[in-house]
Amino acid sequence: MTLPLFPETPAGSEPGLPAFAPAAAAPGPGGSPVPAARLQAWDPRHWPVAPDWRPTVDAFVASPTGQALGDFIEARLTAGAVVFPPQPFRALALTPLASVRAVVLGQDPYHGAGQAEGLAFSVAPGVRLPPSLRNIFKERGEQPAQGSLVDWARRGVLLLNTSLTVEEGQAASHARRGWEALTDALIERVAATASPCVYFLWGAHAQAKAALIERTALAHGRQFLVIQTNHPSPLSATRGPAPFIGSGQFVLARQWLAERGVAGVI
C-alpha cells in the first residue's frame, strides 16, 4: 500500500542537492596525510555480497549493460579518476535479501573524499554529517555522535543508491552509465520477495520507483508500505506538500511493521 499522507512529489520538483567540497585526508602517523579510501579496480564478481543477491548481481555483470559499465569505470580509473566508494556493493553484503524489511533509496554516493561508505545517506565514522543525514536524524529525534548507518543495514534496512559509484567532486558523474539497470533489478527482487517491507521514497528521483515496487509487490502478494515525502535536503525538507521534517514517517513505519510481527528494524 502507498501511504496517502505523503503524496508523491511532482516530477522535477526536487531541488539539486548542495555540493560538498572534498574532505581533507586524515593525518596519519607523523602527521602525513592518509589518502581517502577509493575504488581500486572494477572486479564485481569478487566484491562481497550476500549469497541471495549473487544471481541478480552476476546476471547484470554478464549483461551488455554491465559490461559497458565495467568498461566505463575501468577507463575512468585508468585515466586517474578517483572513484568512491571503495566497496560499491556494501549494502548487498551487510543486508541479505532474506533480511530486508525496509528500503531507503538514495541517488548516488557522496562525492567528497572519505564520505561514502557504500550505504545510501551513510557516512564513515568520524566524517562530519552532511545536511540531509542531519535532517534524517532530526526527524527521528536523534543526535548521534557519528553518521554511519551500518547498524541499520545489519537490522534489515537496505540502504541502496540507484547509482553505486561516483567520481570525487562530481555529483551524478556515473549516473545513466548502467548502474540503474542493476538497482532496478535489485528493487524488483525485494518487492517480489520481502514481506512485510517499508519503502522510503524521498524526492522525485526515488519516487520514480514507486510504480515498479507497487506493481511487483502486488503481483507476488507481498505486504508493503510505500512512504513518499520530499528529500531530506535542507532545500526541500520543510517544503510542502509533503515535507520530510514533521512527517512522523519513522514512527508510522515502526508501527506498521510491529502490527505484522516485525520489531527493531527502523
Positions annotated as catalytic residues are 108
Beta bridge partners of 202: 229
Helices first, then strands: H and E counts in the chain: 9, 6
Distance of alpha carbon 56 from alpha carbon 182, whole angstroms:
8
Contact 102, 134 (CB under 8 A): no
Distances (CA, A) of 11 to 7, 8, 203: 12, 8, 9
Q: Between vectors from CA 121 to CA 137 and to CA 71, what angle results, nearest 5°?
A: 180
C-alpha–C-alpha distance, residues 164 and 141, integer Å: 29
- DSSP run (H or E) holding 102: strand 102-106
The Cα–Cα gap between 181 and 162 comes to 9
